[in-house]
Structure 1
Amino acid sequence: MSTDYLEVRGLRAAYGNIQVLHGIDFTVSKGQIAVILGANGAGKTTTLRALCAMVTVEGSIRLAGEELAGQRTADIVRRGVAHVPQGRGTFPELSVEENLLAGGFVRTDGQVRADIERFYGTFPVLGERRSQAAGSLSGGEQQMLAIARALMLRPSLLLLDEPSLGLAPMVTRALFDQLSIINAEMGTTMLVVEQNAGLALGVADQAYVLESGEVALSGPAHELAADDNVRRAYLGY
């Protein structure tokens, strides 16, 4: 029996007649951080969208042994999959606290308020701006809010699409440090699409490189970080 928490086999995805993913395979073990690297147009974002049933897919997507392919997006969310898309995806007119409450809307465990206070501790700037409209936050603050809102679901799997996009290097480093802490403290399995390969490989356990909708390289993150081909193509040395 497989010990992989997320197991994807033969995944194909298309937008209409345009095929983007061509039968990719990858796995993520429970509690791991896995990263997907690749050039623009390689299929990274489509991979995350495919896991959430946001594009037409073929193949198998199993989470903790349960098949997700063919399920509706809403049902996948209820199964514990949270997605932070490119562009953050916060509700700009709502306050920080209202965004967090929206993230925990489907929960019935009575711990929503406690988790809001927890994430104010994780991201103190959100606590300071709890009554402020999300759209008035800086890019880095909006990204923190988007991640905290996704975590309000208490997901078993967190999907992050380019979390460093548009952020200053110092903010990006602080954000990835927090992701590592959240992973360690909450045990949240994470699948991260990221252009900043050096930073992503530094926090990840497993890595996959996509090229033209196919997995070109895969392995432990530290091994790919030492791979000459990966270094030249993505790390710049």
Structure 2
Amino acid sequence: MSFCDTIWEELAPLRQSILDHPFLNELAAGTLEAESFRHYIVQDSLYLAEYSRVLALAAARAPTAAGRLEFSDGAKVAVQVEEALHQAFFAQFGVTADRAEASEPTPECLAYTSYLSALAATRSYEELVAGILPCFWVYWEVGCHVKPRAASPNTYAPWIETYAAPSFGEATDRVRALVDEAARNATPDTRKAMATAFRNATRYEWMFWDSAYRRAAWPI
């Protein structure tokens, strides 16, 4: 199996924990409390601001034209498309510009973005792209899992449609191909480090949704 297929299968229990999380189950049912979703979209907007920078750094470090194009396009999409989704939800859920601007990242959000930034600054390109991939792939799996189960009408339908869209799946496939290409040309030690980066980022994905469900804040 390819690198991506191997690590994806290894993390099946963790991925199932994500799919079973009450945040996503209640989002699918349309019963998720509005304040939990407000917490999520504010933190996700902070996350995406940093994630777009990480994607831009991946583009700068990519050894191929395909990688440079894919990650630079990804950085643009993170800023444009998903920010537009957030702004629509901000309006729908009463998140004012002042509230959004005054918000600071939770420990989970800061830890996740700092981890990805550290990969970009101090680790190999191969580790970096392996750490980037879960944000694509986990969201694609979540979107495909939630959409057929979602209640209708559903307050959260635009969010569900965004991550279940075929175009998002196609983008995920392209990033997977770049990660597999990097793994094929890597040493065994580098592939081991890539697996660690992918595993850690997937753990952060679970933590991000869990922190939103709990409306987590700094403990002190």
Confirm or deny a common fold (TM above 0.5): no
Q: Which has more strand, going by share of residues?
A: 1
- TM-score, scaled relative to structure 2: 0.30
**Which structure ranks higher in relative contact order (CA pairs < 8 Å, sequence separation ≥ 6)?**
2
